[in-house]
Structure 1
């Protein structure tokens, strides 16, 4: 399988394909320390009940080509604190953990998702 060439990070480090620069890791760690805890963002017991009910009705991953059991309810459009968008079931999609991680990471790389 071909491997992409190394890239040069903005800080000047040469980074191997598939690796993260130490400056990226430090930036992400600093962000996570400043981030509001999940409970304060609305992911409380009410969310857990709604999430479980949604996954019971939608037991399989929604990503095309994946039929794994869904374990995550993802907000299609990041709610960023908007409670109407947060609770809108039309903005929810069932995903397996693997697809959710891949999808979220791809969105973060493209700069489409920041946080929620």
Structure 2
């Protein structure tokens, strides 16, 4: 079975097996995420309040299956990112039930792709 060639790391200029990151790259990634998290508003500030918890639980009682894979849904996702728009945030037609793997992988990847295209 063929293997991918080692890749040259842009942080340490050393060759690493494909898919393996050096400690310097991992540290830089942690620092980048920490800087982003400092600027990001808290969940409550973004609108995820006790009222949201009640409404999302009621929504999942009606729609218990993940819209993408059919497994048991774990959360209510906004189809179109609301970006602070409260009208869009509370519009139920913009809600969809998702399981954690579908939300954390496929949906997030699609949103990142969409952002890069804009």
Q: Name the structure 2 match of 1:112.
A: 115
Q: Name the structure 1 match of 2:98.
A: 95
Q: Aligned pair 1:80/2:83, yes or no?
A: yes
Which deviations, in whole Å up to 9, do the C-alpha atoms of 1:68-91 show, x marking residues without a partner?
Answer: 110111111110000111011111
Structure 1 vs Structure 2 CA RMSD: 2.8
Q: Aligned pair 1:60/2:62, yes or no?
A: no
**Equivalent residues, number:** 109
Which deviations, in whole Å up to 9, do the C-alpha atoms of 1:62-115 show, x marking residues without a partner?
Answer: 00xx221101111111100001110111111100011111124413542639xx
Contact 1:60 1:70 in 2 (8 A): yes
* Unaligned ranges ≥5, structure 1: none
- Structure showing greater radius of gyration is 2
Contact 1:71 1:96 in 2 (8 A): yes
Q: Name the structure 2 match of 1:17.
A: 19
Q: Aligned pair 1:71/2:74, yes or no?
A: yes
Which deviations, in whole Å up to 9, do the C-alpha atoms of 1:38-76 show, x marking residues without a partner?
Answer: 01111001100110011011100000xx22110111111
| TM value normalised by structure 2 | 0.75
Runs of 4+ residues deviating >3 angstroms: 1-9, 18-21
Evaluate the alpha carbon distance shift between residue 53 and residue 26 of structure 1 in structure 2; reply closer, same or farther with a 3 A threshold. Answer: same
